[in-house]
A and B are shown apart, each in its own frame.
Chain A
Amino acid sequence: MYRRWLWPGFAFPGILWLIVLFVVPFYAVVAVAFGTVDPILSRPVPIWNPLQWNVGWIVEVLHRLAPGGTFFGVAIRTLEYVGMSLALCLLIGYPVAYYIARHAGRLKGALLILIVLPLWISYLMRMLAWVNLLSPDGYVNRFLTFSHVLSQPRDWLGGRPSTVILALVYGYIPYLILPLFASLDRIDRSHLEAARDLGASPWSAFRHVTLPLSKTGILGGAVLITLPMFGDYYTPNIVSGSPSTSMIGNQIDLYFHQGPQPTIGAAITVLLAAFLTVLMAYYMWTIHRASREVGAAGAV
């Protein structure tokens, strides 16, 4: 009896904690999103019983998210910013991870530490650094006017999409490089030698061997940075602050911190979580399929 309950007993406090402070709170968001609003105090009234749920708020948010609705622009902008940032992160991150995994030699350890370092510097500190650099008389403007690229300083922090995307890339790229490095570092070099022995050019060896074998790293890293980027609100707030660059996270922040209707905020949160769950499920399915393909190839 005692042996049987020893290990579940160890897990119990942690599981209980996660149920009470992770699962139940998320259910509270769902209950508020499907709840009603007190007509006098205009406070949200959660409905805990799924059978009595009021879908009105979710339907309203969906309407606003549809073309022509007030959230449509924000939703498209969020997809654009996240998509652009992800593409840039991959374009910058892949060569870096590739070099460190394949060619860094003696410098591998040192480079790895330099790559990991930004992860341990507060995100806010790194954003603050760019706010300093990009301010009207900051180093960036002074360099650009000094070298006559710009005739006068540009207001980088006044609501420019390019600044927000730069900040997102800068903020999240270290989280992408590590899994990319891990997957590239695991590739057995004999596969590449075999490809080269069979007459593949360096480029086609890369395209047909390295790239497919690093697919799990690419996907894993992409998911790792896309999920938080979709929920980001502080980055656009810090480096732009303008409504013209606000993302879906900013809408949630607005409805909870400044707006009168947390219920709409909760409804957006539920829809965002549902969207990200679909994304996550797609990722798991791809990984599952990839591992099965590798298994099949191994069997042949």
Chain B
Amino acid sequence: MTVIADERRAAGFSAGNRLWGWLKNPWGRPRFLILFTWAYVLWSIVPVLIAVQFSFNATRSRTVWQGFSTRWYWGDPVDSVWHDPTLRHALVQSLKLASADVVIATPIGVLLALGLARWQGWGSRPSNFLMLFPLVTPEIVMGVSLLLIFTQVFTFIGTGTTAQILGHVTFSISYVVVIVRGRLFSIGRQYEEAAADLGASPMVALTRVLLPLLTPAIVASAAVVFAISIDDFVISQWLSSGGGTDTVPIRIYSATRAAPLPSVNAIATVMMIVTLLSVTFGFLAWRVFTRGERRASAAEDFGGFTI
């Protein structure tokens, strides 16, 4: 390796050789990796920023920049996010599904996490196993399953908003369990045991000791559920009954295949900001509530749970 590099260097200082020599890094800093990593980061984020840029385009083009305007958000009387009824409905539908999902999935998930962490009798192992399945099942398999059950068996529900909410809760519960259970493990059992020693019944120990300690995980998991529900496309699409039940991702999907306007970029930008705000809120809540405990690792804990 070095011999070849030396020969190349001796062959003359063309720009390419100089770059090679610089990348080969004689002082121990992995320059190639630095460049590669930053190139990756740019590649992963810049396209999205360009899409955001074009949501502010002054003309109907999503590819040629012709000046800044907010017409696609509210200025345009027909096609803007604010005035186009299909886009506005999609926005409302997405927020409706996400809110209902948070309200239903968070309590069920928190209870399930508590139950699975403390219950050791018959049935606890298969239940733990079952809880993991929604996390690894491809969404299309879940979409097909739910579509068939709502059109063949639970026909009184059918497709539409109710089915979409039930579907979203089904894939969200496991995320809540993973986040809350992680927190339960890091708390340990000593606080509960102390409460029991002081005469508290399990129920009192739970509500007076454990629940306050779990608050950061509950808030964080609610924020995560809100975000994954808003970003979900497959389940919403399979359980949509068309028209009024289309969510924002479904709108983006059908618009990219038809003739899209920058208003699609605008509504995608709005949803992106909502998701990022929700996740940031969850993260900050986690940081504030867990202040003082192993501070450095709080970020990693939260990041780890979101995998």
Contact = CB atoms under 8 A, between A and B. Distances in A.
Contacts, number: 256
Contact of B48 (A21, A24, A116, A121): A121
A122 B230 contact: yes
B140 A122 contact: no
A175 B306 CA distance: 10
Interface in A199-233: 223-224, 227-228, 230-233
A83 interface: no
Contact of B130 (A13, A23, A123, A182): A23
A265 B144 contact: yes
B169 interface: yes
B33 A126 contact: no
Interface in A1-50: 3-4, 6-15, 17-19, 21-26, 28-29, 32, 44, 46
A115 B109 CA distance: 27
Interface stretch (A64-72, A91-99, A291-299): A91-99
B290 to A, nearest CB: 16
Given A11-B127, A120-B279, A135-B62, A18 B170 contact: yes
A238 B276 CA distance: 24
Contact of A178 (B62, B115, B271, B307): B307
Contacts of A15: 112, 127, 130
A125 interface: yes
A13 B112 contact: yes
Interface stretch (A51-59, A189-197, A268-276): A268-276
Interface in B13-56: 29-30, 33-34, 36-37, 40-41, 43-45, 47-48, 50-51, 54
Given A95-B33, A112-B303, A122-B272, A25 B149 contact: yes
B303 A12 contact: no
A249 to B, nearest CB: 5
B63 interface: yes
A218 to B, nearest CB: 15
B233 interface: yes
Interface core residue of B119, B166, B269, B275 (most chain A CB under 10 Å): B119
B268 A133 contact: no
Contacts of A9: 115
Interface string A257-297: 00000100110010011001000100000000000000000
Interface residues of A, number: 92
B173 A18 contact: yes
A26 B145 contact: yes
Interface in B234-277: 234, 238, 248-249, 252-253, 256-257, 260, 264-265, 268-269, 271-272, 275-276
A154 B29 CA distance: 40
A272 B249 contact: no
Contact of A132 (B50, B112, B238, B299): B50
A124 interface: yes
B92 interface: no
Contact of A103 (B30, B63, B169): B30
B141 A269 contact: yes
A241 B257 contact: yes
Contacts of B257: 237-238, 241
Interface string B106-130: 0011011011101101011001001
Contacts of B279: 120
B234 A234 contact: yes
A250 to B, nearest CB: 10
Contacts of B54: 132
Interface core residue of B111, B140, B166, B231 (most chain A CB under 10 Å): B140
Contacts of A79: none
Nearest to B43: A170
B141 A128 contact: no
Interface core residue of A3, A114, A230 (most chain B CB under 10 Å): A114
Contact of A122 (B115, B134, B271): B271
Contacts of A233: 140
B222 interface: no
A179 B307 contact: yes
Contacts of A117: 44-45
B95 interface: no
A136 to B, nearest CB: 8
B11 interface: no
Given A125-B268, A137-B63, 6 more contacts: A10-B115, A28-B152, A128-B268, A129-B47, A227-B137, A262-B148
Interface of A: 3-4, 6-15, 17-19, 21-26, 28-29, 32, 44, 46, 92, 95-96, 98-100, 103-104, 109, 111-112, 114-133, 135, 137-139, 170, 173-175, 178-179, 182, 223-224, 227-228, 230-234, 237-238, 241, 249, 252-253, 256, 262, 265-266, 269, 272-273, 276, 280
19 contacts: A6-B202, A8-B124, A12-B115, A17-B108, A18-B133, A18-B173, A22-B170, A25-B149, A111-B41, A114-B41, A123-B231, A125-B271, A126-B48, A132-B54, A132-B63, A137-B64, A227-B136, A234-B233, A256-B238
